[in-house]
Structure 1
Amino acid sequence: MELPWHVDLLQGLPRRTVSMDVHGKAMTCSGVDLVDILRHAGAMPADPLRGTDLARHVEVRARDGYTVVFSLGELDPTLGKQRVYVTDQCDGKPLPADAGPARLLIPGDTRPARSARQVQTFIIE
């Protein structure tokens, strides 16, 4: 399933404020948990994952060609509990063109390697 980025992906979903240090700069951004987006799109079940769903993953592709991958198992709040946020605002403003229209923030990561910016599409397999 391909889910192209559009601001409507965040509409009606619970917004969260998340802070993270990215390359020495403290960021406070607003966005939506990736799990909520995937569940709302029907790409991830609401029940705890099991069986074949544990082999599935989401690939996040950025406009600049950068790609990161998360297994659905690591995102499942009852299993891996990895929190990944799709943010579209930082410090109360929309993201600048070189970072937007959306970026990932993963506060549990020890470095920001998977905090992709310029998010363009989500591929769920």
Structure 2
Amino acid sequence: MADVYQQQQQLSEPRAHQVVKAATAATAGVTVATPILVIFSPVLVPAAITVFLLAAGFLTSGGFGMAAATVLAWMYRYVSREQPTREEAWDQRTKGRDAGRGHHATGGVRLTTGARAGLYQT
């Protein structure tokens, strides 16, 4: 039983030692990096702002370019579609007007006698 306890203690010591080493390395890294960041911050902050503005500008110009291409494609399709002739346009207008007033042929035979007088039968 004592042997098992000693083995567990030996296994846990290296892990604790690794944690201490990692904490020491992180502290040393922050200690070294902080003065460098403070010294270069007058350059790094404007540089970061400039990079952000450049990226935003490129994305915005790309979006506007895509919108312009979409509008131009729509305009091309609208202008290049086939336009009906004057006669075809007149026929379509009068056909729609006459159909609305009930002046269209049904293709049936008109019954003139009996109870169904005056009705069309198809």
Task: State if a TM-score over 0.5 links the two structures.
Answer: no
Larger-Rg structure = 2
Q: Which has the higher contact order (CA 8 A, sep 6+)?
A: 1
- Please identify which structure carries the higher helix content: 2
